[in-house]
Structure 1
Amino acid sequence: MDTQLWTITVEQPFLRTRCSLGEGPLYDHRTSTLHFIDIERNKLYHLDIRSSELKVEQFEEPLTCLSLRKDGGLACTTARGFAVIEDSSTLRYLSQPIPEEHQAFTRFNDGACDSNGRYVAGTLASKEHNIVGQLYMYDPADNSSRVIDPGPFTDCNGLGWSADGRTMYLTDSFVNKIYAYDYEDGKLSGRRVFVDPLSHGLPEGTYPDGLCIDNAGGVWSARWGGSKIIRYTPDGAVDLQVVFPTALNVTACCFGGDNEDQLYVTTAHCGACGGDAGRQAQYPDSGDLFVVDLSGQFRGGRWRHDFTA
């Protein structure tokens, strides 16, 4: 990559969470709370940004991404499907659409809700079992779920919409691509490559993970194995990188804070997802939560919405 690229370096974590697979940060302005998950340890974290109080819920199965509910509380995908989170760390399933014969070999991963409260989320491929990643939609208007893009995808990841809702972005991690679609009333068309990170000089063996979008339409893509976040302009050019020298696997990011100008960043342990745990000594803060102060520079956009069920 261009060595003259605008670079922000974050040397220390904001909170030492020691997650195995930290993911899914979601900021709730109503309560000034940052929610995030540890997929491999079945944990859901709630961090009160104003008081720094951290609460942890333990579940019996993995949560993989989160959504705010319109009337308060959280919805999620788990490994098996779409659910809402009830009191006492329990789940109420709305749909479990993965075919029964595939459930042992794949799971849901990342997702988000569109402006009508439809929950879009994708699954992981299993090459050994000839299962491809697919993109699903749960529509609370009629309590239905369906495949909206059969792929084949390797690892459905960072997903969100442009401010006008007419473009949807989807990351396919292990092919190193972020796609864009035309999006209208829950229907996808015109899938195309928005960015090919390797063409920008990012190294082989690093992959795009979660994303968020700022109020200028810039797409912030976390880089698994790359110790950084890359910002892409709306036309797909690279103009900024945020570097985390002490964390290898940067997994996801979201804007939050009173002015939407704090970027909260989750990371994963070097041994997560079958990785090399021996690298943890070199990247000791892998698994911790970071924050990037972007006041006066960038603010978050409206790229995901509330779940209406």
Structure 2
Amino acid sequence: MSLREIILTEPLLRTQCSLGEGPLYDPNTSTLHFLDIEQSKVFHYNVVSKELVCEVFEDAVTCLAVRRNNKGLACATSQGFAIIEKNSTLRYLSRPLPEAYRGRTRFNDGACDRKGRFVAGTLFSAKHDVPGQLWRYDPELDKCERLDPGPFTDSNGLGWTEDGRTMLFTDSFRNKIFAFDYPEYGLPTRKADFVSDAISQGLPAGTFPDGLCIDNEGGVWSARWGGSRIIRYTKDGCMDLQVVIPSALNITACAFGGPRNDQLYVTTAHCGACGGDGSRQPSFPDSGDLFVVDFAGEFTSGEWRFPFAG
């Protein structure tokens, strides 16, 4: 595999998260928000003042969305969809998981579509025969519906291509990124694989796609759990660039931000996260830290996720 390669050697922030995830940049406040899911933490980093604030919640927050009209943040949590209120509290909008699934799965990654509806997926449990599934909360209707019953493995990075009519969705342990037809109303339907089998394309076995973001050229940046890297795919699904972080094993997610929207922020997880082998941490000591790539205008963020309408 011969790709253009960028190597990162120093973290931007030494946060040592257990399960760092979910970077989200808000240009209205110059703030990068990101998570430590296993520690139920939400971080807020002002990229201008360099101030870092951390909140701790009773439930794990698993992904974030900026609300319209500068109202703050919405989120998915382990249980469902919520608004983040003052004093690190959650105001739940929906807890849609069936009784038989509660405590056996949780929500994971997600984002909002052009209508401001929050789409998020859940994790599978082979032990309890619980599939990963896709859900959507519509704040206008105050309604939560199951978009796709799966079965998926771990539901991860999702977002929309530039016209909003195609949704990309990552099924981590199948090493696939699906493309869905995404009608303005109604349920999405799987139409093709954007990435059908990343291992067969030359990526290391035992590594998996995690979070993603989409740039101004339609390129898809897919974080690689266990792979110490991010892969950029062209809009046709061909690999053309990789960002390698030798000192961090589990790369979890990425997002563009900064004053010119050309800084790629990257979250990572400890080697022992999600039942992993914590004894590997000395070999990858920056696993859990936050990194950044300065693309100096070469790449900027595309419109691939949108504010929450609630």
Q: Given the two structures, how large is their TM-score scaled by the length of structure 1? A: 0.98
Structure 1: runs of 5 or more not aligned: none
Structure 2 residue matching 1:199: 3-state secondary structure? helix
Partner of residue 276, structure 1: 277
**Deviations along 1:184-231, whole A, 9 cap, x unmatched?**
114312432111211211111100000000010000000000000000
Deviates more, 1:186-195 or 1:227-236: 186-195
Asked whether 1:62 is paired with 2:60, we answer yes
Whether the 8 Å contact between 2:178 and 2:190 is mirrored in structure 1 is no
Structure 2: runs of 5 or more not aligned: none
Partner of residue 124, structure 1: 123
Partner of residue 36, structure 2: 38
Distance in 2, matches of 1:288 and 1:191, equals 36
**Deviations along 1:250-272, whole A, 9 cap, x unmatched?**
00000001111000000000000
Amino acid at match of 2:67: R
Structure 1 residue matching 2:298: 3-state secondary structure? coil
Partner of residue 221, structure 2: 220
**Deviations along 1:23-44, whole A, 9 cap, x unmatched?**
0000000000000010000000
Asked whether 1:74 is paired with 2:69, we answer no
- After the TM superposition, list the runs of 4 or more consecutive aligned residues in structure 1 that deviate by more than 4 angstroms: none
**Deviations along 1:91-145, whole A, 9 cap, x unmatched?**
0000000012211100000000000001000000111111101000101111000
Deviates more, 1:127-136 or 1:292-301: 292-301
Whether the 8 Å contact between 2:165 and 2:184 is mirrored in structure 1 is no
Asked whether 1:26 is paired with 2:27, we answer no
Name the % identity.
63
Within 5 A, what are the aligned runs for 1:1-309? 2=1, 4-72=2-70, 73-186=72-185, 187-195=187-195, 196-309=197-310
Structure 1 residue matching 2:206: 3-state secondary structure? coil
Please tell me the root mean square deviation across aligned C-alpha atoms, in Å.
0.8
Amino acid at match of 1:49: V
Report how far residue 164 of structure 1 moved: 0.7
Deviates more, 1:199-208 or 1:23-32: 199-208
Distance in 2, matches of 1:271 and 1:193, equals 31
Whether the 8 Å contact between 2:260 and 2:297 is mirrored in structure 1 is no
Aligned residues: 307
Structure 1 residue matching 2:200: 3-state secondary structure? helix
Distance in 2, matches of 1:166 and 1:224, equals 28
Distance in 1, matches of 2:259 and 2:218, equals 20
Whether the 8 Å contact between 2:250 and 2:269 is mirrored in structure 1 is yes
Distance in 1, matches of 2:109 and 2:102, equals 16
Distance in 1, matches of 2:53 and 2:30, equals 14
Amino acid at match of 1:88: N
Distance in 2, matches of 1:128 and 1:80, equals 19
Distance in 2, matches of 1:75 and 1:148, equals 20
Report how far residue 296 of structure 1 moved: 3.3
Distance in 1, matches of 2:79 and 2:297, equals 41
Distance in 1, matches of 2:243 and 2:86, equals 37
